[in-house]
Amino acid sequence: MFVQNLGLLIILLSLINTSYSYLYPQHRVAFNPRGYVSTINKICIHWFDYHQNEISSDCNITADEPSSKTSPANWSIGYSLSIHTEDGTLHNEPYFWWDGWVNGIYCNDIHFHLREGGLVVVETLNLTIVYDKCFWE
pLDDT tens over the chain, length 137 residues: 666 766 666 766 665 655 555 677 888 899 888 888 888 889 999 999 989 999 999 999 988 899 999 998 778 888 999 988 887 888 888 888 876 667 778 888 887 776 666 656 655 555 777 878 888 87
Question: Residue 46's pLDDT is what?
Answer: 96
Yes or no: say if 120 and 112 are a contact pair by the CB < 8 Å rule. yes
Question: H/E/C letters for each residue in 52-94?
Answer: CCEEEEEEEECCCCCEEEECCCECCCEEEEEEEECCEEEECCC
Identify the pLDDT of residue 96.
87
Strand partners, 77: none
Bridge partners (DSSP) of residue 42 are 84
Q: In the chain, what's the furthest Cα-to-Cα distance?
A: 87
Domains of the chain and any CATH numbers: 20-130 (2.60.40)
Which SS3 state, helix, strand or coil, does residue 20 take?
A: coil
Alpha carbons within 13 A on the beta-carbon side of 135:
7
**Which pLDDT belongs to residue 54?**
94
**Residue 28 CB-density burial (10 A; 0-12 exposed, 13-18 middle, 19+ buried):** middle
Buried b (16+ CB within 10 A) or exposed e, 41-70: eebbbbbbeeeeeeeeeeeebebeebebbe
pTM comes to 0.73
Report the Cα–Cα distance between both ends of the chain, in Å, rounded. 70
